[in-house]
């Protein structure tokens, strides 16, 4: 596991996202309306939709392709659909806003 400094919270709008590539995987970082930052693989478990282009609603993102809802804390798809995406640990330094991602 590697912990990396990947940017600052000020670079992501609330309810917005950012993507980054780590090894062969694309990761989507989301900033919720309460300011929390969460990270999941940027690929819907249904048919590979780009989650970073979806709408953030509470702590869920709606896949832009067929509207599956994915819980950004657990990576789980909301029922009645099933599946889950990998999640990654994110820490934000409260003093500086620096974001650290563990992959």
Q: Which is nearer to ligand FES, 10 or 78 (CB)?
A: 78
Q: Is 5 a binder of ligand FES (CB under 6 A)?
A: no
Which region among 15-23, 26-34, 65-73, 90-98 touches ligand FES (by CB under 6 A)? 65-73
Judged by CB under 6 A, the chain residues 27 through 56 that form the site for ligand FES are 44, 46-49
68 binds ligand FES (CB under 6 A): yes
Tokens 């991602």, residue located: 101
Rule CB under 6 A: is residue 65 a binding residue for ligand FES?
Answer: yes
- Give the shortest CB-99-to-ligand FES separation in angstroms: 25
In whole angstroms, how far apart are CA 90 and each of 8, 48, 49, 61, 70?
Answer: 12, 23, 22, 17, 17
Burial of 37: CB neighbours in 10 Å, binned 0-12, 13-18, 19+: buried
DSSP annotation of 51 reads G
Beta pairing class for 60-62 and 3-8 = unpaired
Query: Does residue number 66 form part of the binding site for ligand FES (CB under 6 A)?
Result: yes
Q: Residues interacting with ligand FES, by CB under 6 A?
A: 44, 46-49, 63, 65-66, 68
């Amino acid at each position: 596991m590697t912990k990396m400094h990947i940017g600052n919270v000020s670079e992501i709008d609330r309810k917005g996202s950012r993507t980054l590539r780590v090894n062969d995987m694309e990761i989507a970082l989301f900033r919720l309306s309460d300011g929390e930052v969460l990270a999941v693989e940027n690929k819907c478990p249904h048919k590979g939709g780009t989650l970073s282009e979806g709408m953030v609603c509470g702590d869920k993102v709606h896949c832009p392709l067929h509207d599956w809802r994915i819980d950004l804390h657990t990576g789980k798809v909301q029922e009645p659909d099933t599946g889950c995406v990998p999640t990654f640990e994110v820490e934000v330094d409260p003093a500086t806003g620096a974001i650290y991602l563990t992959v």
